[in-house]
Amino acid sequence: MTTEQLDSIASKFDIDGEVISYAPYGDGHINDTYLINTKKRKYILQRINNSVFKDVDLLMGNIEKVLSHAKKSIVAYGGDPERETMTLVLTKDGEKYYRLGEKYYRVYVFIDKTVSLNLARTNEDFYQSGVGFGKFARLLSGFDADEIHDVIPDFHNTRVRFANFVRTLDKDALNRAAECKNEIDFVFKREKLCGKLVDMLNSGEMKSRVTHNDTKLNNVLLDEKTGKAVAVIDLDTVMKGSTCYDFGDSVRFGCSTAIEDEEDLSKVHFSLPLFEVYSRGFLGALEGALTDTEVKNMSLGSVMMTLECGMRFLTDYLDGDNYFKISKDKHNLIRCRTQFRLVEEMERDYDKMLAIVDKYA
């Protein structure tokens, strides 16, 4: 956008200080993000991608409720609510976002003197990401998850993901199933796993909580000097679910010895030492806030999030690569194979994973 357009949008928000400059910020794939510099402080301006998040009012309502509860929790233990969580800046009319035609905008206060990493520099960075997401879960442990709504229905409903896989396989629109026989068999052999977490949530056996659902390293801000976790960002996918989802998804990508689309599976392994690093951070930060059922199923969450992700890659490959962006031939099939390799090794090390979780929970 031009400076004039940005000026026009920024002027609708209750921003403190005269704007000095704007600059594109970050490398997110969903929303367009700009850093606003004023004479007093910095802000983040985002255009919300309403192709992905179709109900912007619902989305921003979720975020406002979660941030409000988090700030109260931070104040209760004597923390800094302006630094330890995001702060939403309202429009001058008191609204959570500004609409211009079919485009939607929001503003947050920029949390200064922090860094966001796409790749852990050391195990300490990975540990601190666990601390960050564990603290986020603890801050919201008293929040009634029924107060927020799904912005992406059935996001981690693995039963639904399995049903989508079967429908896509039955169509086999591009005749790709024949080359994926091993991967297809892999999914069917684990069909019974697909309902385990979902059924526990639906029955009430497992507590439903607010979940972040995008627990990757760069969504935890680290202090630029100490390297310690400061705040969790990007709350677009906060929804009702299981803490096992957030824990498991971090383990899925963070405990692999290779990148997600590594073609040489001999390089792809599940790292039990990294699993312990993350468990120590995440579970330690929760300070005993989990139920026994959640503790017993954290390792299952790691298996399930990895299996679900691999199944989604396979489904997309069979369907013609319509969802995940690809940059090479069979890209989604390659991604699927790395996830299934990790599942196999998690299954092999499952008893050790359970012991590690018990140790820190």
The mean pLDDT value for 236-246 works out to: 96
Token pair belonging to 132: 């960050």
The yes-or-no verdict on residue 29 having pLDDT over 70 is no
77: pLDDT strictly greater than 90: yes
Confidence check: pLDDT of 30 > 80: no
Which whole number is the average pLDDT over 138-162?
Answer: 94
The whole-number pLDDT of residue 91 equals 98
pLDDT score recorded for residue 28: 65
- Structure confidence by residue, pLDDT tens digits, 91-135: 999 999 999 999 999 999 999 999 999 889 999 999 999 999 999
State the Cα–Cα distance between residues 255 and 250, nearest whole angstrom: 8
Which whole-number Å values give the CA distances from 272 to 206, 269, 279, 280, 310, in the listed order? 26, 9, 10, 12, 20
- What pLDDT is recorded for position 52? 84
Strand partners, 100: 103
What class, spelled out in words, does domain 123-360 have in CATH?
A: alpha beta
Q: How far apart are the first and last CA of the chain?
A: 48
Give the Å distances, CA to CA, from 100 to 13, 23, 55, 95, 228: 13, 20, 15, 13, 38
Q: How far is CA 111 from the centre of its chain?
A: 19
Other CB atoms within 10 Å distance of the CB of residue 311: 24
Name which of 360, 24, 346, 344 is nearest 189 in CA terms: 344
Conformation bin of residue 234: beta by default, left when phi > 0, alpha when psi is -120 to 50: left
- Over range 231-255, report the average pLDDT: 96
**Average pLDDT in the 232-254 region?**
96
CA atoms of 213 and 219, how far apart (whole Å): 11
The SS3 assignment for 211 reads strand
Other beta carbons within 10 Å of 219: 21
pLDDT digits (tens, 9 = 90+) for 188-227: 999 999 999 999 999 999 999 999 999 999 999 999 999 9
Angle between helices 243-254 and 292-319 (to 10 degrees): 60
Portion of the chain with pLDDT greater than 90, in percent:
93
Residue 31 is predicted with a pLDDT of: 85
229-232, strands of its sheet edge to edge: 114-115, 220-223, 229-232
The fraction of the chain above a pLDDT of 70, given in percent, is 99
Secondary structure of residue 323 in the 3-state scheme: coil
Question: Can you give the pTM of this predicted structure?
Answer: 0.93
Per DSSP, the three-state class of 6 is helix
Q: Which one-letter amino acid corresponds to residue 243? A: T
Mean pLDDT of the chain: 95
**Would you say 313 and 335 are in contact if contact means Cβ atoms under 8 Å apart?**
yes
The answer to whether the beta carbons of residues 286 and 230 sit under 8 Å apart is no
- Residue 104, token pair as written in the block: 């939607």
Which sequence spans correspond to the domains of the chain? Answer: 3-112, 123-360
Q: Which helix (H) or strand (E) holds 37?
A: strand 32-38
- CATH code for the structural domain at 3-112: 3.30.200.20
Q: For 340-360, what is each residue's pLDDT tens digit?
A: 999 999 999 999 999 999 999
pLDDT at 192: 95
Mean pLDDT of 304-308: 97
